[in-house]
Amino acid sequence: MEISEDKWEEVTEGSTTFSIYKDADIIYDASVFYNPKMAINRDLTILAISSIIKKEMKKICFLDPFAGTGVRSYRIINELPQNSVEKVIVGDINPIAINIITRNSNNLNFDEKMEIKHSNAINIIDSLPKNKDTTHIIDLDPFGSPIEYIEESLRALRINEGYLFSTATDLQVLCGKFPDSCYRIYNAFPTRHFLCHEVALRILIYNMIISAGRLGLAVEPILCYNHEHFLRVKVKVKDSKEVANQQHKKLGYVYFCKKCSYIATVELSKELESTLCSNCSKKLEKAGPLWLGNLYELEFIEQMKKDIEQFTLQLEKKIEKLLNLILDEINSPPFFYYIPFILRFCKKEGVSLNQIIDSLRSKGFTVSRTIFDPQGLKTDASYDEIVNVIEQY
């Protein structure tokens, strides 16, 4: 394709200004588009890498094999402390993306730190040298599912016990619109009901844990979340069969009632006593297999929060809100009760989520809101205990 000089436009995200090529009026029609909606994903990536650098005290090598305009990598080189980034490998299969990246790399004087690769991501990942200190972080950001790149990435990260970051935008599959596709791609049953996003995220992590386990590796979630139309998983790779064995004990299923929001989780090796809802006798829906363990690492999230002021983030307020919610949720068990269904079951109106939270907390239960739903409540209290609290009002 001919590149015409008058179609270049400057964009600033965070504190980085770079050029994009606008060959269509609507951003999503452009041959390589810059998506401002994903700025939150990139802001959190900057904060996450900053925490990793502080924790590991070493210069990082970062691989961005689905780079698009390259914005993620420019921000990493430009916004993180200069002496903390050794090398960034930026790749894409689309020649226009490579043209955009090459132009920006020259204009921004990034040539020393940036290596550009025009190839299929799988070849780029596969060709990484498997030596010490060559690749610390791989960030998968494909259109749709990252599943076919996970195992190769884990192999590349093994020697440095690095970090795998991955976005997934195939929510129609993972959130149950196409359950057969979900079963084929992720070997798991999704749901379309109130738990859909948390189930989707935990199915994706389950797949990472299974792939890692086959290689004798473990992956430890440090920040996994869902935001609008995407899921994002950040895990640390550990070269330990023992840790992997322990993690496999936290794989299982969630059962839930679509009518009254009763929920129960069960490990893969165990059976649920009854698959009928103990409140309303409706047949429980089952989703999984999925990951039942933690989605966040406390120290890591706290460091990210501390570092917010260090950067010019595109969406600082949103990031602060999300990290606060995560810190609230961090010790809660997996999955949440959907409070409007419990209020309907109790035939109660006008009891607020805050009132329920305060009452359960005063009784000594672990309780929090959740990033997955503003009407959701995570707690170790049983359904009956929540009903008791609601009935006091």
Ligand X SMILES: C[S@@+](CC[C@H](N)C(=O)[O-])C[C@H]1O[C@@H](n2cnc3c(N)ncnc32)[C@H](O)[C@@H]1O
Find which of ligand X, Zn ion, none residue 121 binds, CB within 5 to 8 Å per kind.
ligand X
**Within 13 A of 348's CA, how many CA atoms are on the CB side?**
20
Find which of ligand X, Zn ion, none residue 94 binds, CB within 5 to 8 Å per kind.
ligand X
DSSP structure string for 350-390: S--HHHHHHHHHHTT--EEEETTEEEEEEESS-HHHHHHHH
Find which of Zn ion, ligand X, none residue 381 binds, CB within 5 to 8 Å per kind.
none
Find which of ligand X, Zn ion, none residue 257 binds, CB within 5 to 8 Å per kind.
Zn ion
- Rounded Cα–Cα distance for residues 340 and 373 (Å): 11
In the bound state with ligand X, the residue whose beta carbon lies nearer, of 96 and 325, is 96
Measured from the CB of residue 281, what is the shortest distance to Zn ion in angstroms? 7
Residue pointed to by tokens 């599959």:
173
Measured from the CB of residue 173, what is the shortest distance to ligand X in angstroms? 16
- Rounded Cα–Cα distance for residues 208 and 191 (Å): 19
CA distances (Å), origin 160, targets 132, 135, 185, 236: 6, 7, 28, 10
Contacts 24+ apart (CB under 8 A), 346-353: 346/387, 346/390, 346/391, 348/390, 348/391, 348/393, 350/393, 351/390, 351/393, 353/377
In the bound state with ligand X, the residue whose beta carbon lies nearer, of 22 and 42, is 42
In the bound state with ligand X, the residue whose beta carbon lies nearer, of 27 and 280, is 27
Find which of ligand X, Zn ion, none residue 69 binds, CB within 5 to 8 Å per kind.
ligand X
Find which of Zn ion, ligand X, none residue 143 binds, CB within 5 to 8 Å per kind.
ligand X
Contact call for residues 185 and 147 (beta carbons, < 8 A): yes
Measured from the CB of residue 36, what is the shortest distance to ligand X in angstroms? 10
**Residue 381 corresponds to which tokens in the numbers above?**
């209290």
CB-neighbour burial class of residue 291 (10 A; exposed 0-12, middle 13-18, buried 19+): buried
Find which of ligand X, Zn ion, none residue 262 binds, CB within 5 to 8 Å per kind.
Zn ion
Measured from the CB of residue 282, what is the shortest distance to Zn ion in angstroms? 5
In the bound state with ligand X, the residue whose beta carbon lies nearer, of 93 and 387, is 93
- Rounded Cα–Cα distance for residues 211 and 291 (Å): 13
Find which of Zn ion, ligand X, none residue 141 binds, CB within 5 to 8 Å per kind.
ligand X
- Rounded Cα–Cα distance for residues 201 and 179 (Å): 15
Find which of ligand X, Zn ion, none residue 277 binds, CB within 5 to 8 Å per kind.
Zn ion
Residues whose CB falls within 8 Å of the CB of residue 91, separated by 6 or more in sequence, listed in order: 63, 64, 65, 66, 67, 116, 117, 118, 119, 121, 124
Measured from the CB of residue 121, what is the shortest distance to ligand X in angstroms? 4
Nearest-CA neighbor of 13 among 310, 315, 314? 314
In the bound state with ligand X, the residue whose beta carbon lies nearer, of 32 and 367, is 32
In the bound state with ligand X, the residue whose beta carbon lies nearer, of 65 and 190, is 65
Measured from the CB of residue 338, what is the shortest distance to Zn ion in angstroms? 11
Residues that bind Zn ion (CB under 5 A): 257, 259-260, 262, 277, 279-280, 282
Measured from the CB of residue 253, what is the shortest distance to Zn ion in angstroms? 17
In the bound state with Zn ion, the residue whose beta carbon lies nearer, of 130 and 282, is 282
Residue pointed to by tokens 């690095």:
162
Closest residue to ligand X: CB criterion: 68
Measured from the CB of residue 298, what is the shortest distance to ligand X in angstroms? 27
Nearest-CA neighbor of 61 among 87, 83, 81? 87
Residues that bind ligand X (CB under 6 A): 32, 35, 38, 42, 65-69, 71-72, 91-94, 97, 120-121, 141-143
In the bound state with ligand X, the residue whose beta carbon lies nearer, of 111 and 148, is 148
In the bound state with ligand X, the residue whose beta carbon lies nearer, of 65 and 176, is 65
